[in-house]
Amino acid sequence: MGIVERRERLKKQVRSDILKTARDIAREDGWQGVSIRKIADIIEYSPPIIYEYFDSKDKLLETIRVDGFYELRGEYDRIKEVYRDPEKQLVEVAQSIWNFSVEKPEVFQVMFNQDGAFVLSKRAYQQELDMTGNPVWEMIARLRPKAGEKVSMTYYEWWCLTYGFISITMTTQPKHAISKMEAIYTEGVRRFIRSIM
Amino acid sequence: MGIVERRERLKKQVRSDILKTARDIAREDGWQGVSIRKIADIIEYSPPIIYEYFDSKDKLLETIRVDGFYELRGEYDRIKEVYRDPEKQLVEVAQSIWNFSVEKPEVFQVMFNQDGAFVLSKRAYQQELDMTGNPVWEMIARLRPKAGEKVSMTYYEWWCLTYGFISITMTTQPKHAISKMEAIYTEGVRRFIRSIM
DNA sequence: TTTTTTTTCTAACAGCGTTTGGAAAACCTA
DNA sequence: TAGGTTTTCCAAACGCTGTTAGAAAAAAAA
């Protein structure tokens, strides 16, 4: 009897529909335009249904944030496997962050509380800034075989350089001008890598 | 008869009270907690009064943003006068941005659409990124006597490095940890300056 | 004092996140 | 198939939000 299975499949579907719809609205109208009622309208359920999947709107956005970081982490792990040279690895990481922000700007906004997106908790950042098992931290460590403390500081600089550059670009530049900034970003990243080698 | 004058004085006072109250609430509860009704409550007027001073909540926040950029610009001009060495000037500029973000984090948030603050228009950034009469642009130009285009790119890098670092630090770090990041910021700024000289 | 102008507020609209209570549907059992 | 149980779902409401219209109150001018 696959009844339970069917129900669970449907639940998973609705859950991901909610997340996808939130992102769709945000991409179109910005996070300011995302409301529980609009999401409910689009997935053709009543608003209270959403609360069976997420405790609150805040938790819903936090899920999107965590998923975003998870996806990026996957990219970093992949890059670490594919390339041997840590310099090349970091350049690739920087590239993949940029691509991510271009392809999923609305997710990037949630990840960094930007442009109308807002999540109260800072929990997601802690894991991201932690060094244990952190692929990017290890790339920098290989590039800079100094004491651990120094590496963590450099890693934090890296974090701010990459995410900061894109954050500021996304919020200050009109959509059509963003792609022109990629070259500056890439050059800045290269300069940074060379300056810590 | 100073009736008109008295009225104008009072109007200016109420206007600045509105702005100050908005910032106060934001500092205490975040920009998410700022509402027209709360502001009205505190300045002891009814909500519609606020609309005699600002067309909308959005315009109110935009005023705070523009004032913030104006204040910083004043700092930069002052620094440019006081110090001769462009390297020293830039270090001081970086320092003053940091101090600003520590003393008025809620204004910084509005300036870069962070953490619940949101202004639709990107107008304020255009002037800030324009090179004409821009003190920081000129500092970089003196440090890097290359072609104009290159200077503008470097200036944009500077912009992203400083504001980006602080933006990311403010949104990702808990309040108590922020001060510990200043050293990393300062070192990053110094490294950047040296790398473009 | 009366008229005119200016200032101010009450009340309302539509939309927001969220919760409650119960209706409706789906399911299981006899 | 009928009855009972469980699960799924939603209408309605609460207290918020930004904003506006129109009337009331206050001040100034006549």
pLDDT tens-digit series, residues B63-89: 999 999 999 999 999 999 999 999 999
Q: Predicted confidence band at A57 (pLDDT cuts at 50, 70, 90)?
A: very high
Name the residue among B115, B161, B181 with its Cβ closest to that of A118. B115
Terminal Cα-to-Cα distance of chain A (whole angstroms):
61
User: Which H/E stretch holds residue B13?
Assistant: helix B3-29
User: What is the spatial distance, in angstroms and rounded to an integer, between the CA atom of A3 and the C1' atom of C27?
Assistant: 10
pLDDT of residue B1: 46
pLDDT of residue A147: 66
Q: Predicted confidence band at B2 (pLDDT cuts at 50, 70, 90)?
A: low
CB of B177 within 8 Å of a chain A CB? The answer is no
Nearest nucleotide by C1' position to the A47 CA atom: D10
CA distances from A120 to A59, A61, A112, A130, B164 (A): 9, 10, 11, 20, 20
Spell out which residues of chain A touch residue B98, defining contact as CB-CB under 8 Å: none
Q: Do B114 and A113 touch (CB under 8 A)?
A: yes
Spell out which residues of chain B touch residue A186, defining contact as CB-CB under 8 Å: none
CA distances from A82 to A72, A77, A158, B76, B142 (A): 15, 9, 21, 46, 43
Q: Predicted confidence band at A99 (pLDDT cuts at 50, 70, 90)?
A: very high
Name the residue among B113, B165, B192 with its Cβ closest to that of A164. B165
Q: How far apart are CA B171 and CA B64, in angstroms?
A: 19
CB of A113 within 8 Å of a chain B CB? The answer is yes
DSSP B132: T
Q: Do B188 and A159 touch (CB under 8 A)?
A: no
Name the residue among A118, A125, A160 with its Cβ closest to that of B165. A160
Q: How far apart are CA A12 and CA A1, in angstroms?
A: 19
Mean pLDDT of chain B: 95
Cβ pair B162, B135 in contact under 8 A: no
Spell out which residues of chain A touch residue B163, defining contact as CB-CB under 8 Å: 164, 168
List of A residues 9-38 with CB within 7 A of strand C: 34-38
- Closest residue to C6 by CA to C1' distance? B7
**Overall average pLDDT of the B135-147 stretch:** 88
Q: Which of residues 6-45 of A touch B (CB under 8 A)?
A: 32
Sign (positive or negative) of CA dihedral A95, A98, A104, A110: positive
Nearest to B22 by CA among B30, B108, B103: B30
Least confident interval from A163-167, B32-36, B59-63, B128-132: B128-132
Q: Predicted confidence band at B6 (pLDDT cuts at 50, 70, 90)?
A: confident
pLDDT of residue B59: 98
**Overall average pLDDT of the A48-62 stretch:** 98
pLDDT of residue A15: 97
Name the residue among A129, A164, A195 with its Cβ closest to that of B191. A195
Q: Predicted confidence band at A196 (pLDDT cuts at 50, 70, 90)?
A: confident
pLDDT of residue B172: 97
Give A193's contacts (C-beta < 8 A, 6+ positions apart).
Answer: A87, A90, A91, A143
* Strand, coil or helix: B114: strand
| Predicted confidence (pLDDT) per residue in A104-134, tens digit | 999 999 999 999 999 999 999 999 999 999 9
- Of all residues in chain B, the percent with pLDDT exceeding 90 is 89
Mean pLDDT of chain A: 95
**Nearest chain A residue (CA) to B184:** A153
